[in-house]
């Protein structure tokens, strides 16, 4: 019955009713997967879903389906990959308007022809769609210099439950007309509406881009160096710290990123991405190297060209780089004031060690973002793994809160999600958030239960 | 509740010396920097979040409208109490609460003056980036309400890109905290939603902002052109060349003439337009970059390109830009300062249309604006002794706005909608778009006591609407 | 806002008189606010230049009657004119404030006591040089006789009013008559030939309290080739009257002074008191509706020069004598804002060998003296003074220079309050000292 109505909207060839296991969210298999081709179809589907109280899970390439709590219900997975056009590209205005299902990589390829790019480098660089990136507020190491999703989206088109289509923002880079609804939808995990179109701010490609790697025997010196740079006049695009585990995985997977073996384990690796005019890239490399030497660096490498690209692709795609077996990995993201990264790193390590675990950690340290990877396999079978991990996560979360930050579990087995809230506490603004959800999705059909506090 | 008891109750919260209600007091709270005015019934000066909360609790209980006010430098009427009630003046909440250099964050009260914050960090080489033209006067709280811009927002973003956390008193008096010193807190980005909400969703009592190290080197250039078109083309060429200057400002002939008459900034009077271009960053490569910009200007028929050789010359080049509005104010007794944005590749077309509109209405127009991000500020002089001229000036302004919107632009780039442009909102947003915004308002401010009469068109008022093609 | 509503709202109500002309120049941008010391201290719009203009406009538009509260708001103004320097639209704030205060004066019954004090000072003393001298004589007697000591010890004045006590303590020692008489009516140029013939306005307070500064000024001028004429029977410039709504008395005194100096055929008329200079430069404006004096007054005003302005203009002789001290310079409001003179006093200080000039934060802020503001608003005046002294202390200077008698008195008192052991002097005194050291 529902299938028939849906098929009438999108055509039978755009509906899947069988073999839907791969579209399951936390093990909950949908009844139907639809592939609308345009915004009108999305609108019709949303009208139907609202009438029929169908739980809708919007989806792009599905790279971040692990994010969120276990859904209460999954009826229809709405895949937006067929909305994949570039609607407008104005190189002279450095703006573009695209459909939400376009792959980031496809957009970048097109922009590159004009020597421009969309300055966002989130994980899953070859599969992620723009809509998914915005809905999950997915960012990368370049946010230190270029900003994050919220800074780069200037306009948005959204289909709400009931099928109403709205626009917010515009196509120009500066706009204070009305509420900044772009911000509301960014990172809302599709719980307020389905993003179908985005207007974006672009940037010219830098003249030169290079990497400086430095090795330190202690985390402290690497972390201090990051702060020294970020509070100076230098203008690094990214400032990263990798613990020895992270570096080992990276260099084992591709030994070429350590060409002179200048950065050999053990120890902590510092990485800076430096971009812009050749003169200032060279100057920054010299300056940071010197500061590194003053801090007792034990080795250095400069990566250029392909090696540079490869290195940052691995960092950008850290979930793929560091989770050898995705279904058996817990990935946590802590966001902290930048000055707390060092303390946090050390304390998390201690918490892990107390349970005989050694998490892989790396950090967009200039931005105060720390990723922690736990392999499930590290805990021997026969032990209650979930109890151990839920304990660890509680501890790390308390630490993050104590440092005025937050901890989100970006990926974890469903069993663990049953024990811990992946988002953590929201604070005294929760009531407002719940009311917003009620206003925009009164019947709670969008991604029910996946977002914060049951939203 | 009668007025007397309300005064007593407010006085109990903030102290009797912080409540004003005599006509001689209220007269000075009728206005901000917009043309319109309206009389409040009370002005109160809280000093803490708790006091603001108590004030709003009283107001919402008694159904008295209220509006927050910083320095009153807004130009869209955001601080004008159109429905009367209480003006919650935040000028005494002006403390810098914390500066965390390592995390590059500062926590301030809303009444802190924008430039004071930068001055407080000068010794450490830091600053707060957004620099609205009124930065010497305007407060961070006001900047947050209006999502203020400024010349240097081209490269670094506007207020919203620099605000990470807020303490907000909701219209019912509840206190909430959004965001914080770190990034990416779970939940909806209420901070982003509140910035630019023009004080209609609550009163912000604490703000966490980004602070940054000052650039090592600054290079300022002034290029003059014999045609406005050449200047506008140069803007597009610079943007397209792969360089984003820190600031890219433009002034047209009437503006140059006004500036030269009063400020003697050394702009060539024979020029039809000047571009003020500022490059910032590391000193290495700066000269080459400047040379490249000079070449772009020259290849677009610049008649002269000056490069400031020292800080004094740099200030001299900026002087004309900074005093432009004031200088035009000296020619006429009032002017209407507009604010609209167009895509940067439409600058040329829109500017020539603006001149045609001015001619049609027989008014003057001077343009002084942030060319780099397409943010136009046409200034239309008004002669207050001539009602007919004033009307023509206002009608011309309206048509200029509509022309920008037709070109794919928007109603306001940095001044806000307020009560200036609320009736024009249907030009860019349809009923559904506005309904989505109203849902947000319904959540925060269900009784419409918090800064009523702003942003949204008055219900029932008919406006001939020709929406731009979407 | 729809055009129809806006037209109603903005009120196209332009009135053709000089006050309205000035008022209409204000576009209400609010850029003056942070430069206004009272706004900064009090934080209310009523205490800001824009608020005062709004209030004045309501009155001049006939929409508001003058009430004590209205007067209170307008009298909180220091008239430091910092707002004029800040105003991008060039509003001459004092041209709104002075008529407004004049209107207050005419329309408002002040409390009797307040009126008596003001009347005594403005109507019966300042206009009459003889009476002022007589008063000075009494004051000097009071100071040297031991009575002052007695009064201070017993706290007699505090029992009447704390502010009166504070005011009494600020009283400078009045100079003995003999010293005052040392100021000759004609002083020839020193050494070489006469290059300029200049008049010197010795000032009322200046001449009584700061006789040494006047003598220093004349010596410095003579050293720079000037023949200096100091007419004995000149009157007070009228600045205080102007600021306090006594415009008619101010006009009388202006006419008198114009008559005195006009016939002297001077190249320039020099003033070493910033407040007086500012008022003298405004005579043209003050008497512009006086058919007999308008032209004379404007010619007079054009000749008026502040001492530092004049010295820099003529390329003063660079002193050779050294003063080994660290000096901070505080801009008198009526020099920097009233006359736009900022770099000249600094240039003079910098020319003195050995003297180190250090930057003083908020040097362009009012010290709280502001004519008789420290008498009428002692509390706010002291807040401003303490703020000033905190900045002075931070400079580490052991010498504070300025260029106005009111400021010198106030700052000396400030140094005492802050426990700072520093001299407060006039810029010209330092130049004079440096010249005199050449002889050593």
Contact B329 C25 (CB under 8 A): yes
Whether A and C touch, i.e. at least 3 CB pairs below 8 A, reads as no
Contact B239 A92 (CB under 8 A): yes
What does the pLDDT look like over B2-49, one tens digit per residue? 899 999 999 999 999 999 999 999 999 999 999 889 999 999 999 999
A428 interaction partners in chain B (CB closer than 8 Å): 174-177
What does the pLDDT look like over C61-107, one tens digit per residue? 999 999 989 999 999 999 999 999 999 888 999 999 999 998 988 88
Indicate the residue of C14, C45, C73 with minimum beta-carbon distance to B72: C45
Smallest CA–CA distance, residue B391 to chain C, in Å, is 7
Contact B384 C89 (CB under 8 A): no
Tokens read off for C159: 């029992």
DSSP letters, C373-406, are HHHHSHHHHHHHHHHHHHHHHHHT-SEEEES-HH
Is C188 within 8 Å of chain B by CB?
no
Residues 27-86 of B with CB under 8 A from C: 27-33, 35-37, 43, 45, 71-73, 77
A165 interaction partners in chain B (CB closer than 8 Å): 432
Same fold yes or no, B216-330 and B332-470: yes
Return the pLDDT at A253.
Answer: 86
Among B182, B193, B371, most A C-beta atoms within 10 A, so best to mutate, is: B182
pLDDT exceeds 50 at position B1: yes
Contact B242 A205 (CB under 8 A): yes
- In this structure, whether the domain defined by A92-204 belongs to CATH 3.30.465.10 is answered with yes
pLDDT exceeds 50 at position C340: yes
- In this structure, whether the domain defined by A319-417 belongs to CATH 3.30.70.2740 is answered with yes
DSSP letters, A316-356, are HTHHHHH-SSGGGEEEEEEE--GGGHHHHHHHHHHHHHHTT
Contact B344 A148 (CB under 8 A): no
Sign of CA dihedral A129, A134, A139, A144: positive
Is A182 within 8 Å of chain B by CB?
yes
Closest CA to B25 of C56, C109, C55: C55
Same fold yes or no, A2-81+442-454 and A319-417: no
Judged by phi (left if over 0) then psi (alpha if -120 to 50, else beta), residue C64 lies in: beta
User: What count of other Cβ atoms lies within 10 Å of the Cβ of residue C166?
Assistant: 19
| Same-domain check for residues C222 and C154 | no
Q: For C3, which residue in chain B has the nearest alpha carbon?
A: B394
Indicate the residue of B33, B45, B113 with minimum beta-carbon distance to C29: B33
Could you tell me the CATH number of the domain that includes residue C434? 3.40.50.10700
- CB distance B213 to A233 below 8 Å: yes
What does the pLDDT look like over C381-397, one tens digit per residue? 999 999 999 999 999 99
Q: Is C12 helix (H, G, I), strand (E, B) or coil?
A: coil
Cα–Cα distance, B156 to C175 (Å, whole number) = 62
Smallest CA–CA distance, residue C72 to chain B, in Å, is 10
Return the pLDDT at A251.
Answer: 87
Indicate the residue of B28, B94, B461 with minimum beta-carbon distance to C45: B28
Among C15, C36, C88, most B C-beta atoms within 10 A, so best to mutate, is: C88
Give the count of Cβ contacts less than 8 A between chain B and C. 139
Return the pLDDT at B229.
Answer: 84
Among B105, B164, B167, B187, most A C-beta atoms within 10 A, so best to mutate, is: B187
Q: Is A58 helix (H, G, I), strand (E, B) or coil?
A: strand
What does the pLDDT look like over A49-104, one tens digit per residue? 999 999 999 999 999 999 999 999 999 999 999 999 999 999 989 999 999 999 99
User: What count of other Cβ atoms lies within 10 Å of the Cβ of residue C264?
Assistant: 12
pLDDT exceeds 50 at position C149: no
- The backbone torsions φ and ψ at residue B219, rounded to the nearest 5 degrees and listed phi first, read -130, 130
Considering the four listed CATH numbers 1.20.950.20, 3.40.50.970, 2.30.40.10, 3.30.70.2190, the one that applies to the domain covering B216-330 is: 3.30.70.2190
Contact B73 C13 (CB under 8 A): no
Q: What is the mean pLDDT of the segment spanning B419-445?
A: 96
Indicate the residue of B125, B149, B180 with minimum beta-carbon distance to A174: B149
Highest mean pLDDT among B140-149, B321-330, C126-135, C275-284: B140-149
Show which subunits contact A, needing at least 3 CB pairs below 8 angstroms: B
Cα–Cα distance, B468 to B417 (Å, whole number) = 18
Cα–Cα distance, B137 to B160 (Å, whole number) = 19
B89 interaction partners in chain C (CB closer than 8 Å): 43-45
Q: Is residue C145 very low, low, confident or very high in pLDDT (cuts 50, 70, 90)?
A: very low
Q: How many domains does chain C have?
A: 4
- The domain ranges of chain A are 2-81+442-454, 92-204, 208-316, 319-417
- Note the Cα A250 to chain centre separation in Å: 19
User: Which residues lie across from C240 on neighbouring strands?
Assistant: none
User: What count of other Cβ atoms lies within 10 Å of the Cβ of residue C121?
Assistant: 17
Could you tell me the CATH number of the domain that includes residue C230? 3.40.50
C55 interaction partners in chain B (CB closer than 8 Å): 24, 27-28
Return the pLDDT at C153.
Answer: 47
Return the pLDDT at B399.
Answer: 95
- The backbone torsions φ and ψ at residue A73, rounded to the nearest 5 degrees and listed phi first, read -160, 145
- CB distance C194 to C228 below 8 Å: no
Smallest CA–CA distance, residue B197 to chain A, in Å, is 5
What does the pLDDT look like over B43-74, one tens digit per residue? 999 999 999 999 999 999 999 999 999 999 99
Among B143, B185, B349, B404, most A C-beta atoms within 10 A, so best to mutate, is: B185
- The backbone torsions φ and ψ at residue A303, rounded to the nearest 5 degrees and listed phi first, read -105, 135
Cα–Cα distance, B306 to A365 (Å, whole number) = 41
What does the pLDDT look like over B343-381, one tens digit per residue? 998 998 999 999 999 999 999 999 989 999 999 999 999
Cα–Cα distance, C261 to C84 (Å, whole number) = 29
Closest CA to B425 of A134, A168, C169: A168
What does the pLDDT look like over A388-445, one tens digit per residue? 999 999 999 999 999 999 999 999 999 999 999 999 999 999 999 999 999 999 999 9
User: What count of other Cβ atoms lies within 10 Å of the Cβ of residue C383?
Assistant: 16
Q: Is residue A114 very low, low, confident or very high in pLDDT (cuts 50, 70, 90)?
A: very high
- CB distance A159 to A47 below 8 Å: no
Cα distance between the two ends of chain A: 28
State the DSSP code for C174: P
Q: Is residue C134 very low, low, confident or very high in pLDDT (cuts 50, 70, 90)?
A: low
Is B385 within 8 Å of chain C by CB?
yes
C67 interaction partners in chain B (CB closer than 8 Å): 24
**SS3 sequence of chain B:** CCHHHHHHHHHHHHCHHHEECCHHHHHHHCCCCCCCCCCCCEEECCCCHHHHHHHHHHHHHHCCCEEEECCCCCCCCCCCCCCCCEEEECCCCCCEEEEECCCCEEEECCCCEHHHHHHHCHHHCEECCCCCCCCCCCEHHHHHHHCCCCCCHHHHCCHHHHEEEEEEECCCCCEEEEECCCCCCCCCCHHHHHCCCCCCCCEEEEEEEECEECCCEEEEEEEEECCHHHHHHHHHHHHHCCCCCCEEEEEEHHHHHHHHHHCCCCCCCCCCEEEEEEEEECCCCHHHHHHHHHHHHHHCCEEEEEECCCHHHHHHHHHHHHCHHHHHHHHCCEEEECCEECCHHHHHHHHHHHHHHHHHCCCCCEEEEEHHHCEECEEEEECCCCHHHHHHHHHHHHHHHHHHHHCCCECCCCCCCCCCCHHHHHHCCCHHHHHHHHHHHHHHCCCCCECCCCCCCCCCCCCCCCCCCC
Greatest Cα pair distance, chain C, in angstroms, is: 79
State the DSSP code for A205: P
**How would CATH label the architecture of B3-89?**
2-Layer Sandwich (3.30)
Cα–Cα distance, B63 to B446 (Å, whole number) = 12
What is the predicted ipTM?
0.97
Contact A277 B285 (CB under 8 A): yes
Q: For B233, which residue in chain A has the nearest alpha carbon?
A: A92
Indicate the residue of B29, B113, B391 with minimum beta-carbon distance to C3: B391
Predicted structure pTM score: 0.92
Cα–Cα distance, C14 to C187 (Å, whole number) = 53
Smallest CA–CA distance, residue C36 to chain B, in Å, is 11
| Same-domain check for residues C124 and C152 | yes
Q: Taking CA C311 as the corner, what is the angle to CA C305 and CA C313, rounded to the nearest 5 degrees?
A: 80
The count of C-alpha atoms lying within 13 angstroms of the C-alpha of C404, restricted to the half-sphere facing its C-beta, is: 29
Mean pLDDT, chain C, whole residue set: 84
Return the pLDDT at B307.
Answer: 93
pLDDT exceeds 90 at position A288: yes
What does the pLDDT look like over B315-352, one tens digit per residue? 888 888 888 888 887 777 788 899 999 999 899 899 99
Question: To which H or E segment does residue C94 belong?
Answer: helix C94-107
Whether B and C touch, i.e. at least 3 CB pairs below 8 A, reads as yes
Is A220 within 8 Å of chain B by CB?
no
Indicate the residue of A174, A178, A335 with minimum beta-carbon distance to B429: A178
Cis peptide before A146 (omega within 30 of 0): no
- CB distance A149 to A137 below 8 Å: yes
CATH no. for A208-316: 3.30.70.2190
Is A176 within 8 Å of chain B by CB?
yes
Exposure pattern of C312-336 as b/e (b: 16+ CB <10 Å)? Answer: bebebbebebebeeebbbbbbbbbb
Indicate the residue of B240, B429, B432 with minimum beta-carbon distance to A92: B240
Of residues A266 and A215, more confidence is placed in: A215
Q: For C27, which residue in chain B has the nearest alpha carbon?
A: B334
Contact A164 B189 (CB under 8 A): no
| Same-domain check for residues C17 and C30 | yes
Considering the four listed CATH numbers 3.40.50.10860, 3.40.50.2300, 3.30.465.10, 3.20.20.10, the one that applies to the domain covering B96-213 is: 3.30.465.10
Judged by phi (left if over 0) then psi (alpha if -120 to 50, else beta), residue B180 lies in: left
Residues 44-83 of C with CB under 8 A from B: 44-46, 48, 50-51, 54-55, 58, 64, 67, 69-70, 73
CATH no. for B332-470: 3.30.70.2740
Smallest CA–CA distance, residue B384 to chain C, in Å, is 5
Domain limits for position C125 = 112-170
- In this structure, whether the domain defined by A2-81+442-454 belongs to CATH 3.40.50.800 is answered with no
Q: Give the contacts of C211 (CB within 8 A, at least 6 positions apart).
A: C175, C179, C180, C182, C183
Q: Give the contacts of B112 (CB within 8 A, at least 6 positions apart).
A: B94, B95, B96, B139, B140, B141
- The domain ranges of chain B are 3-89, 96-213, 216-330, 332-470
Contact C1 B25 (CB under 8 A): no
Residues 343-372 of A with CB under 8 A from B: 367-369
| Same-domain check for residues C210 and C278 | yes
Is C354 within 8 Å of chain B by CB?
no
| Same-domain check for residues C182 and C308 | yes
pLDDT exceeds 60 at position C142: no
User: Which residues lie across from B88 on neighbouring strands?
Assistant: B44, B68
| Same-domain check for residues C102 and C116 | no
Last residue of a domain, one of C293, C312, C331: C312
- CB distance B59 to B9 below 8 Å: no
State the DSSP code for C273: -
Q: Is residue C133 very low, low, confident or very high in pLDDT (cuts 50, 70, 90)?
A: low
């Amino acid at each position: 019955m529902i299938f028939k109505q849906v098929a009438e909207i999108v055509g039978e060839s755009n509906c899947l009713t069988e073999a839907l296991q791969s579209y399951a969210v936390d093990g909950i298999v949908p009844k139907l997967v639809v592939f609308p081709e345009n915004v009108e179809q999305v609108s019709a589907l949303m009208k139907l879903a609202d009438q029929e109280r169908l739980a809708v899970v919007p989806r792009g390439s599905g790279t971040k389906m692990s994010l969120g709590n276990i859904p209460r219900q999954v009826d229809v997975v709405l895949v937006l990959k067929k909305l994949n056009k570039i609607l407008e590209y104005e190189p002279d205005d450095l703006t573009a308007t695209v459909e939400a299902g376009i792959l980031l990589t496809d957009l970048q390829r097109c922009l590159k022809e004009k020597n421009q790019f969309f300055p966002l480098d989130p994980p899953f660089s070859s599969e992620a769609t723009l809509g998914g990136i915005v809905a999950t507020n997915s960012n990368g190491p370049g946010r230190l210099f270029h900003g994050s999703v919220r800074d780069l989206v200037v306009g948005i088109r959204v289909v709400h439950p009931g099928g109403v289509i709205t626009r917010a923002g515009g196509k120009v880079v500066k706009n204070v007309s009305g509420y900044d609804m772009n911000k509301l939808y960014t990172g809302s995990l599709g719980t307020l509406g389905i993003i179908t179109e985005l207007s974006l701010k672009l940037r010219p490609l830098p003249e030169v881009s290079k990497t400086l790697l430095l090795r330190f025997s202690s985390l402290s010196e690497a972390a201090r160096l990051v702060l020294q740079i970020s509070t100076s006049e230098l203008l690094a695009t990214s400032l990263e710290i990798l613990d020895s585990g992270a570096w080992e995985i990276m260099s084992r997977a591709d030994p070429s990123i350590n060409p002179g073996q200048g950065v050999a384990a053990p120890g902590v690796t510092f990485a800076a991405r430096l971009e812009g005019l050749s003169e200032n890239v060279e100057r920054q490399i010299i300056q940071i190297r010197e500061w590194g030497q003053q801090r007792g660096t034990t080795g250095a490498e400069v990566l250029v060209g392909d090696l540079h690209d490869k290195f940052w692709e691995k960092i950008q795609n850290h979930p793929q780089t560091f989770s050898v077996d995705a279904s058996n990995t817990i990935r946590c993201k802590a966001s902290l004031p930048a000055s707390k990264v060092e303390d946090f790193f050390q304390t998390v390590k201690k918490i892990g060690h107390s349970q005989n675990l050694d998490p892989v950690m790396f950090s967009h340290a200039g931005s105060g973002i720390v990723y922690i990877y736990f392999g499930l396999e590290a805990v021997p079978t026969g032990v209650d793994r979930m109890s151990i991990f839920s304990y660890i996560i509680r501890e790390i979360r308390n630490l993050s809160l104590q440092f005025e930050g937050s901890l989100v579990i970006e990926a974890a087995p469903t069993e663990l999600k049953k024990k811990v809230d992946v988002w953590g506490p929201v604070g005294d603004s929760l009531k407002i958030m719940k009311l917003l959800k009620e206003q925009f999705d009164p019947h709670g059909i969008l991604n029910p239960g996946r977002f914060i506090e049951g939203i | 509740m009668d007025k007397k008891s309300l005064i007593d109750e407010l006085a109990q919260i903030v102290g009797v010396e912080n409540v004003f209600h005599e006509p001689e007091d209220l007269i000075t709270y009728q206005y901000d920097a917009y043309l319109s005015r309206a009389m409040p019934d009370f002005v109160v000066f809280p000093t803490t979040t708790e006091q603001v909360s108590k004030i709003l609790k009283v107001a919402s209980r008694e159904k008295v409208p209220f509006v927050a006010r910083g320095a009153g430098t807004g130009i869209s009427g955001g601080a004008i109490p159109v429905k009367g009630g209480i003006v919650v003046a935040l000028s005494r909440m002006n403390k810098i609460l914390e500066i965390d250099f390592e995390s590059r964050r500062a926590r301030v009260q809303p009444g802190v003056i924008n430039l004071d914050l930068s001055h407080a960090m000068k010794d450490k080489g830091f600053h707060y980036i957004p620099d609205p033209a009124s930065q010497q006067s305007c407060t961070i709280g006001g900047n947050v309400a209006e999502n203020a811009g400024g010349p240097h927002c081209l490269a670094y973003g506007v207020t919203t890109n620099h605000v990470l956390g807020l303490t907000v008193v909701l219209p019912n008096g509840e206190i909430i905290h959004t965001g914080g010193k770190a990034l990416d807190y779970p939940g909806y980005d209420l901070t982003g939603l509140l910035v630019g909400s023009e004080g209609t969703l609550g009163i912000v009592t604490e703000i966490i902002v980004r602070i940054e190290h000052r650039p090592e080197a600054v290079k300022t250039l002034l290029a003059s052109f014999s045609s406005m078109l050449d200047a506008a083309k140069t803007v597009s060429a610079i943007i397209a060349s792969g360089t984003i200057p820190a600031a890219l400002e433009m002034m047209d002939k009437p503006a140059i003439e006004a500036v030269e008459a009063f400020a003697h900034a050394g702009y060539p009077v024979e020029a039809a337009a000047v571009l003020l271009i500022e490059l910032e960053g590391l000193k290495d490569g700066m000269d080459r970059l400047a040379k490249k910009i000079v070449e772009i200007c020259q290849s677009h028929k610049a008649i002269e390109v000056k490069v400031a050789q020292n800080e004094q010359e740099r200030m001299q080049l900026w002087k004309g830009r900074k005093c432009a509005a004031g200088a035009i104010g000296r020619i006429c007794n009032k002017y209407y300062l507009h604010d609209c944005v167009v895509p940067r590749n439409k600058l040329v077309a829109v500017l020539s249309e603006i001149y045609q509109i001015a001619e049609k209405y027989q008014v003057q127009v001077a343009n002084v604006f942030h060319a780099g991000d397409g943010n136009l500020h046409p200034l239309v002089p008004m002669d207050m002794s001539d009602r007919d001229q004033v009307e023509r000036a206002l009608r011309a302004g309206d048509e200029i706005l509509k022309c920008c919107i037709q070109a794919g632009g928007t109603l306001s780039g940095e001044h806000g909608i307020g009560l200036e442009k609320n009736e024009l909102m249907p030009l860019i947003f349809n009923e559904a778009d506005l309904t989505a915004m109203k849902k947000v308002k319904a959540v925060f401010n269900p009784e419409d006591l918090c800064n009523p009469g702003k942003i949204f068109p008055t219900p029932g008022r008919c406006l001939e609407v020709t929406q731009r093609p979407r | 806002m729809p055009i129809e509503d806006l037209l109603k709202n903005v009120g196209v109500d332009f009135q053709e008189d000089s006050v309205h002309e000035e008022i209409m120049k204000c576009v209400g941008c609010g850029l003056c606010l942070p430069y206004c010391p009272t706004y900064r201290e009090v934080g209310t719009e009523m205490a800001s230049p824009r608020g005062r203009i709004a209030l004045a406009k309501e009155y001049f538009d006939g929409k508001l009657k003058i009430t004590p509260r209205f007067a209170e708001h307008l009298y909180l103004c220091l008239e430091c004119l910092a707002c004029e320097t800040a105003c991008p639209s060039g509003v001459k704030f004092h041209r709104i404030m002075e008529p407004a205060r004049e209107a207050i004066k005419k329309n408002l019954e002040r409390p009797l006591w307040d009126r008596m004090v003001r009347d005594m000072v403005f109507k019966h003393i300042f206009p009459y040089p003889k009476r002022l001298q007589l008063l000075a004589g009494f004051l000097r007697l009071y100071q040297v006789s031991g009575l002052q000591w007695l009064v201070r010890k017993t706290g007699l004045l505090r029992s009447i009013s704390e502010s009166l006590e504070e005011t009494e303590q600020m009283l400078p020692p009045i100079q003995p008559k003999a010293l005052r008489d040392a100021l000759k009516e004609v002083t020839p140029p020193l050494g070489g030939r006469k290059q300029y013939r200049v008049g010197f306005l010795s000032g009322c307070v200046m001449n009584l309290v700061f006789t040494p500064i006047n003598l220093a000024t004349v010596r410095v001028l003579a050293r720079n080739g000037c023949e200096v004429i100091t007419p004995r029977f000149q009157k007070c410039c009228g600045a205080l009257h102007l600021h306090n709504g006594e415009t008619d008395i101010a006009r009388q005194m202006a006419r008198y002074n114009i008559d005195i100096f006009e016939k002297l055929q001077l190249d320039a008329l020099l003033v070493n008191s910033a407040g007086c200079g500012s008022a003298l430069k405004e005579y043209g404006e003050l008497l512009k509706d006086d058919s007999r004096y308008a032209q004379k007054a404007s010619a007079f005003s054009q000749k008026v020069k502040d001492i530092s302005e004049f010295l820099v203009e003529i390329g003063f002789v660079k002193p050779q004598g050294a003063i080994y001290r660290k000096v901070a310079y505080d801009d008198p409001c009526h020099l920097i804002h009233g006359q736009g003179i900022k770099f000249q006093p600094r240039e003079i200080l910098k020319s003195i060998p050995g003297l180190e000039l250090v930057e003083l934060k908020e040097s362009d802020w009012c010290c709280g003296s502001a004519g008789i503001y420290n008498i009428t608003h002692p509390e706010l005046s002291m807040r401003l003074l303490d703020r000033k002294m905190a900045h002075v202390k931070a400079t580490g200077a052991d010498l504070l220079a300025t260029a106005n008698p009111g400021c010198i008195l106030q700052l000396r008192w400030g140094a005492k309050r802050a426990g700072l052991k520093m001299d407060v002097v006039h810029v010209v005194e330092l130049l004079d000292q440096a010249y005199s050291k050449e002889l050593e």
